[in-house]
Structure 1
Amino acid sequence: MIKVTIKRDDHKLIQSFTITGHANFAKKGADIVCAGVSAVSFGAVNAVMSLCHVTPDIEQGADGFLKCSVPSNLDESTHEKVQLLLEGMVVSLETIERDYGNYITISK
């Protein structure tokens, strides 16, 4: 199962997200749940980097591990843009969870 953890601050702003595990929906190369989660999460990180010119703290590892932390020293305008992109990611992940809840879980 893929486990997504969204860490928020006291103002409900996303500080970081962590993704671990594999969906095991289908064989490697045919697993649409893993592919969807990867596309959404990496797409969001790439959008933050390309559109906001922000380099988040990124950790990657074995077994589908991805952790992305938002830098704390962003100006307000940039921080709002980063948050919008990450909230879009959360909505997309929640859509996957709604349709494939046996293979992905999101905790906030």
Structure 2
Amino acid sequence: MIDVTLLLKNKKKIGFKIQGHANFDEHGFDIVCAAVSTLAYTCINSLDFYNYNLEFHDDNDIMCVVVKKASSQSNVILQTFEIGIKTLLTNYSEYIKLNYEEV
């Protein structure tokens, strides 16, 4: 199962952590893992495009991104990521878990 944790600070989204594997299909053919990865990297690349100072870590076990100085605009990008994950949950809830963590 993929665990997605949205990181919150004072109820604002500031980042996320992703760990685990969906095991929907064999490695290289897993559409659930591919979808989550696409959402995550699109979010990260969007934050980077708008020059947000990010703390980013991906060691093939845990991916983590934190916006160092969050704003309403960075919150919109992270909320779009959240909407994408929730959309995946409608069909693949046995492969993805969404959590929230106040940091």
Instruction: Settle same-fold status: TM greater than 0.5.
Output: yes
Name segments (4+ residues, structure 1) moved above 4 Å: none
TM-score (normalised: structure 1): 0.87
**Structure 1 match to 2:72:** 80
Rounded to whole Å, the distance in 2 between the matches of 1:87 and 1:19 is 15
1:1-108 equivalent positions in 2, closer than 5 A? 1-10=1-10, 12-50=11-49, 52-63=50-61, 65-72=62-69, 79-108=71-100
Where 1:81 maps in the other structure, the secondary structure is: helix
Where 1:19 maps in the other structure, the secondary structure is: strand
Please report how far the alpha carbon of residue 7 of structure 1 lies from its aligned counterpart in structure 2 after TM superposition: 1.6
Is the strand fraction higher in 1 or 2? Answer: 2
Deviations 1:10-69 (A, max 9, x none): 2x101221000110000111100000000001101101111x111310011133x21000
Give the alignment's Cα RMSD to 1 decimal. Answer: 1.2
Rounded to whole Å, the distance in 2 between the matches of 1:44 and 1:106 is 16
Rounded to whole Å, the distance in 2 between the matches of 1:16 and 1:40 is 13
Letter in 2 for 1:96: L
Where 1:6 maps in the other structure, the secondary structure is: strand
Any gaps of 5 or more consecutive residues in structure 2? none
Any gaps of 5 or more consecutive residues in structure 1? none
How many residues of Structure 1 are paired with residues of Structure 2 in the alignment?
100
Quote the sequence identity (%). Answer: 28
Letter in 2 for 1:9: K
TM-score (normalised: structure 2): 0.91
Rounded to whole Å, the distance in 1 between the matches of 2:59 and 2:87 is 25
